[in-house]
Structure 1
Amino acid sequence: MTAFGVPEVVEVLLPDTSAVLRGKWIPGHAMGKIWKDGVAIPLSIFGLDVWGCEVEASEIHMETGDKDGLCWPVPGTLKPVPWASHHTAQVLITMHEPDGSARGRPWKLDPRQQLAAVVDRFAARGLLPCVAFELEFYLLKPSNVPGAPPEPVFQATGQARQNMYAMSDLDAFAEVLHDMRAACVTQGLPADTVISEAAPGQFEVNLYHRVDALGAADDAVLLRRLIDGVARRHGLKATFMAKPLADFAGNGMHVHASLMEHAGGNLFAREDGVGDTALRHAAGGLLASMADATLIFVPSFNGYRRLVPGSYAPTSASWGFDNRLVAVRVPNGPRHARRLEHRIAGAEAHPHLVLAAILAGMLDGLERGIEPPPPLEGNAYEQIGEPLSPDMEVAVDRFAASDFIARTFGVDYRRIYAAMKREELAAFRRVILPLEYETYL
């Protein structure tokens, strides 16, 4: 029994390595089993590519007998699904590997467990990450033609050009946006500002800061599902694709992070010089690990189309104060709210993996005292900085050889993730683009 009654169905949601939600429908009358017995799902669910196909090179499918893992609900995530056509609830689950104990041990290939391990490292130093996500998305016309180019909803606003922060765009989509906000209230998701972004039909939803890194990443996963579900109820298609429209801005996932001391207060805000040093070293760690972790931040073939000069997406490992053209920004604001804004990730990236890589980079910088280069001012596209990986192949190679990735995620995870991305890259390279036929046929 829940506060909203017994649902007809409970959807158990397990984000896989690509943040695609896998899981099951469980009858509402049997929902108690989720907490009592767990949910059996193959451990190899984390060896699927973005299309849901087994990646044989991961070596966790037939080689292992395709054993089941045991998934347990994430506390606080049982919520009603207001956009569903039937009385439905959902709950996020996380994977454990059976080891003879009642719950099993955390499954190392589950991105949520990877983030938990990084958070534990901060806790051992007396620090708690305080995190907020910002998610950008487009609302498009739905299409029944697989692979068809997206159809923007320009006619809804009369705008077919950049229209940054336009109240007219918010007004034009007020009904669906208000329903998204209402669904956030129903599900307890801490949604804050809604902004009309740099293109017609593009919006950003910000989540409040949480001194709970796992909860913040859970919120980002569930917010994407909510936006998609509410949009469908309105006959629209929501997409978090990094670069859905060639002539307009891409969709980013910006992450704000500060560090709270157990004794109280923001480490970066300390007045004794410690705060400035900690902020600088955390930024240095992010820049030093950025090239190695780019494949986490930009996991899709399409995502590298977003990282181009003039797009307000970063193109180099750079940082600066109140500068939206760098990769790591220190936003303007009161000292007690000092934080780093990480601006590389595409909106399609896995929130748990993105946050694990960001926090691990910050911790590396703190532990090793990494000094960053001077902060950039003005147009970062015209200044020197280590370029980000220009394409997916370079990013895969850098990831696969990275000591930082091995130390953060483990050698096995590094190998398996790289194998999955190599297979996805090969699939895209086998496809002949329409422009090639148009040009050469």
Structure 2
Amino acid sequence: MNRPETTIDTDVKPSSSVSPEAGGEISTKGAGPCGDFISAEHEAEYRAFVEEHPDLEAVEFLIVDPNGIIRGKWAPGDSLKKAFQEGVNFPMSLHGLDVWGREVEETGLHIETGDKDGYCRATRGSLAIVPWARRKTAQVLLQTFTPEGEPFMADSRQVLKHKVAEANAKGFFPVAAFELEFYLLDPEKQDPAGMPTPLGAGEGPDRLRMYGLDDLAENAALFDMIRDAADAQNLPIDTIIKEAAPGQFEVNLKHRADPLRAADDVILLRRIVMGCAREHGLTATFMAKPFIDYAGNGMHVHTSMLDADGQNIFAGETGRERLLSAVAGLIDTMPESLILYINTWNGFRRITPGSYAPTHAVWAENNRSVALRIPVSTEENRRVEHRISGADANPYLVMAAIIQGMIEGIEAGAKPPPPVEGSAYDETADLGRELPDDMDDALQLALKSRFIDRALGPLLAKVYRDLKRAEIIAFWSEITPLERTTYL
């Protein structure tokens, strides 16, 4: 088969590149003259959009920080062009904010550097209308460059772009698809702690109704709006599923031959779901474990690898050996990279036996209790399902670590441990290495990890560790209501 078409994102005038025919985005540096469009493709995208929407009133500039949180600014509609030319100014320290949006001085990105501005430029294919906005509004996803025009390597999107280019140069062309779980909450119904309750909760016995169609039908107007918004923003939604708890659903995205665009899809899908839910008087949350008694929200990543001819390198008998080596690479690096997959204090509450969230670095075929599942498929579609990440993780970092782990395993010809038979929560079985169930334990492994530096590059690896340390200290500094009611 031919390799699926990829998106070549030429953010600035290219001076060095990976061949477009080889797949992946072009790696570029150096800014064009002020007023020039980044590329002919960017100019064509911009002009086609404004011709279709001449009455544009506003634009929302979106940037993703290391926690996977969208930050940015609102601007008048006529400022859109700047994002496709020299770029929109943002402080580079935006990539050194913790989950609360506070500066973390240890990152070295803030006042000690003069809090410099960088140029944030439009990413190809992300310009779209915001259907739920009150005014005629566009949105565009940006990525950060230094004042000298170099990719800023504390920007997680730039890091994944670089990782994909590295993989392509070695002859590996990753294909990826994400699945995202989330809850729909009713803000009019709150528990004693003030938390909105899931739809369908508290109405007699809990209505789990996994794979039920009634819950989809009852929220058909919302899901229709989500699909329409996804169509308007070129997001390839596949299936929508009722999940394993009241008010919990899953949206599956279709595979892309460009993992960078696949990660973009996650960022924009989360925004779509939350925006559309708000329009229907509901709250949507991708929090990894919003309720102790119910299932957590996961982000599952299906990944395969193609060669330069578009063939799945995991197909056939020899392909299976490469697949097992990729699995081994992911297992070997899983504990030390866990803090990339589970990036919040709350996320570690999801790692509970029997919860369909993995607790050990193990694999199996057609088994949803493990960290790495080989789904039932034809040989041409043979792939790994990575089941560890919380739904609130940064998809660029998740994808970068998966690509790095798989390639290292393949290049080393690594062998995985035997697959798990039955439940991966069976305490009597030899399940191999247990994953950390505490954020600080996970950070301690990450601090010693050389793999994270290889996956993210030295700058973002340092920044990310500094952010996680600051967040842990903040949680250690908080006295919980339970402690007060217990010991006062």
Aligned to 1:105: 150
Give the Cα–Cα distance (whole angstroms) in 2 for the partners of residues 279 and 4 of structure 1.
46
Query: 2:222 & 2:293 partners in 1: Cα distance?
Result: 25
Contact kept, 8 Å, 2:180 with 2:300, in 1: the verdict is: yes
Runs of 4 or more off by more than 4 Å in structure 1? 155-159
Confirm whether residue 13 of structure 1 aligns to residue 62 of structure 2.
yes
Q: Which residue of 2 aligns with 1:255?
A: 301
* Cα offset, 1:82, TM superposition: 0.5
Name the structure 1 match of 2:474.
427
SS in 2 for 1:220: helix
What is the DSSP-based 3-state SS (H/G/I as helix, E as strand, rest coil) of the residue aligned with 1:257?
strand
- Which consecutive unaligned segments of at least 5 residues does structure 1 have? none
| 1:385 corresponding residue in structure 2 | 432
Contact kept, 8 Å, 1:162 with 1:248, in 2: the verdict is: no
Tell me the TM-score normalised to structure 2 length.
Answer: 0.86
CA distance in 2, matches of 1:157, 1:340: 39
In the alignment, what sits opposite 1:439? 486
Q: Distance in 2 between matches of 1:156 and 1:170?
A: 19
Superposition pairs for residues 283-294 of structure 1, below 5 Å? 283-294=327-338
Question: Is 1:191 paired with 2:237?
Answer: yes
Deviation at 1:178, TM superposition (A): 1.5
Q: CA offsets per residue over residues 73-103 of structure 1, 9 Å max, x none?
A: 001110001111111110000001122xxxx
Q: Which amino acid aligns with 1:119?
A: V
Identity within the alignment, %? 48
Q: Which residue of 1 aligns with 2:259?
A: 213
- Long gaps (5+) in structure 2: 1-49
The separation in 1 between residues aligned to 2:244 and 2:72, in whole angstroms, is 35
Preserved contact between residue 156 and residue 172 of structure 1 (Cα < 8 Å):
no
**Pairwise CA distance, 1:158:** 6.7
Alignment check: 8 A CA contact 1:157 1:169 kept: no
Q: Determine the C-alpha separation between the residues in 2 that align with 1:412 and 1:78.
A: 29
Q: How far off its partner does 1:156 sit?
A: 9.7
Q: 2:292 aligns with which of 243, 246, 253?
A: 246
Do residues 312 (structure 1) and 356 (structure 2) align? yes
The answer to which of 317-326 and 404-413 deviates more is 404-413
Identify the match of residue 56 of structure 1 among 62, 81, 105.
105
Residue 170 of structure 2, aligned match among 119, 125, 135: 125
Per the TM alignment, residue 27 of structure 1 is displaced from its structure 2 partner at its CA by: 1.2
Q: Which residue does the alignment assign to 2:37?
A: none
SS at match of 1:380: coil
Residues 227-285 of structure 1 deviation map (CA, whole Å, 9 limit, x = unaligned): 0000000010000000001100000000000011111211111x2x3201110000000
What is the letter of the counterpart of residue 76 of structure 1? Answer: G
Correspondence for 2:194 among 148, 153, 159: 148
**Structure 2 match to 1:338:** 382
Aligned-pair distance for 1:52? 0.4
Q: How many residues in Structure 1 have an aligned counterpart in Structure 2?
A: 435
- How do residues 361-380 of structure 1 correspond to structure 2 at under 5 angstroms? 361-380=405-424
Offset from partner CA, 1:54-83 (integer Å, 9 cap, x none): 001112111111101111100111000111
Q: Secondary structure of 2:425's partner?
A: helix
CA RMSD of aligned residues (A): 1.7
Q: Which amino acid in structure 2 is aligned with residue 54 of structure 1?
A: E
Matched, 1:172 2:218: yes
In the alignment, the residues of structure 2 paired with residue 91 and residue 378 of structure 1 have an alpha-carbon distance, to the nearest angstrom, of 46
- Give the residue type in structure 2 aligned to 1:347: A
Q: Normalising to structure 1: TM-score of the pair?
A: 0.95
Deviation (angstroms), 1:30: 2.8
1:385 partner amino acid = G
